[in-house]
Structure 1
């Protein structure tokens, strides 16, 4: 197994884990349940650990695919830049989630504040992760690129069909 394969395995966990964690956290805030909030904090911490693995395998994956046909340095560079920004947000989310977990366990007066702060960070992470995931998918899935011949011809075919109706 090479870095590209490992990267493909681990890179989905930060995205899916953060989305799931945000949904669980929203439930914990709504139901005012520290147990549910703690579950979301664990999900965020696990997602952060997978972010570390994803970043560690990304460079090796880049080296393996950057010279392949239909894959240019620009599209990989765009994905890498977005991933680095997401990694910073995810590291922050992981650290603040550890603090939120400890504050909940100790019934600290600031525990409620941390739940809202973590929710805001998680929302930013989810929004950014959708861009990172899309830019990563565009590396090999040329059909989802905005400048794709397939995507543009499908749009033109749809417009032509709509014009006929």
Structure 2
């Protein structure tokens, strides 16, 4: 049962939620321009708060996933690093948008959410959606060499040597 709740498994479960959450929040906000403005806007804000929380969960579980996959054929540290860097930036963007969405829910708790705030939220959700989708693409390239530009069959067989011990931590597996 401990394998079921390992950091790797939780990372694989949670890493799709911020992508889908950001896209769903964006769709709700755009839909609110035509249908049920206040209900869809508030729902979108709740979704965007959840997206920020899910991004944090995916980020926290990224290190155990990295440790588990290092040394597998086709896995390159540079790919992991690119995914990690974009994941960190996406987490910050999703966190800021989530805090703003929570602020909007509190600010307009008794009155309709204004159109100007909705347009700002649409812009933010579009940016976060793009960042999340790109983070997911970079993560997919770690194990799926077919997603890598210019990949060959040989790329899936390269095994990088393990990296040395981490400073101040246990040796790398």
TM-score by length of 1: 0.84
Q: Deviations for 1:22-67, whole angstroms, at most 9, x for unmatched residues?
A: 0011111333611110011111111111111101100111111122
RMSD: 1.6
Within the candidate set 28, 31, 39, 1:27 is matched to 31
More deviation, 81-90/26-35:
26-35
Matching of residue 11 in structure 1 with residue 18 in structure 2: no
CA distance in 1, matches of 2:104, 2:79: 37
**Aligned with 1:105: secondary structure?**
coil
Q: Which residue of 2 aligns with 1:114?
A: 117
Within the candidate set 49, 52, 62, 1:48 is matched to 52
Q: Which residue of 1 aligns with 2:162?
A: none
How many Å apart are 1:100 and its aligned residue? 1.4
Unmatched runs of 5 consecutive residues or more in structure 2 = 154-173
Q: Which residue of 2 aligns with 1:153?
A: none
Contact 1:103 1:111 in 2 (8 A): no
CA distance in 1, matches of 2:85, 2:117: 28
Give the number of the structure whose residues are more often helix, by fraction: 1
Matching of residue 39 in structure 1 with residue 53 in structure 2: no
Contact 1:100 1:115 in 2 (8 A): no
TM-score by length of 2: 0.80
CA distance in 1, matches of 2:150, 2:80: 15
CA distance in 1, matches of 2:42, 2:33: 11
| Runs of 4+ in structure 1 over 2 Å off | 29-32, 110-114
CA distance in 2, matches of 1:10, 1:31: 30
More deviation, 14-23/111-120:
111-120
CA distance in 1, matches of 2:110, 2:96: 21
| Number of residue pairs aligned between Structure 1 and Structure 2 | 149
Q: Give the number of the structure with larger relative contact order, counting CA–CA contacts within 8 Å between residues 6 or more apart.
A: 2
Matching of residue 131 in structure 1 with residue 106 in structure 2: no
Contact 1:38 1:104 in 2 (8 A): no
How many Å apart are 1:116 and its aligned residue? 1.8
